[in-house]
Amino acid sequence: MQDKESVLKTIRDHQTDIRKLGVKRLGLFGSFVRGKQNVSSDLDFAVELEPKTFDSYMNLKHYLEDLFGCRVDLVLFSAIKPRLKTRILQDLVDAA
């Protein structure tokens, strides 16, 4: 089972390809950051994309799901709901 450090290393190892998908910033948050992941956990990422299009969002989501072999929840930094923002930003670890 993966942990926070292995996820971050994988992102760093694939950073060139991730940047080509329009990623300006990518942060990991959620159960993996808190060390509470289990075999059915998804990966939670916050992202800043340029261009910010549906296609660039979906291309990144599919790329990350293929890379990690699990479900990925992807949220745009600009779309984080105010009631969740504080918790997400407290957990957030910059990945790319």
- The residues annotated as belonging to the active site are 42, 44
First CA to last CA distance, the chain = 22
- Distance CA(59)–CA(16), nearest Å, equals 15
Gap between the Cα atoms of 17 and 37, Å rounded:
26
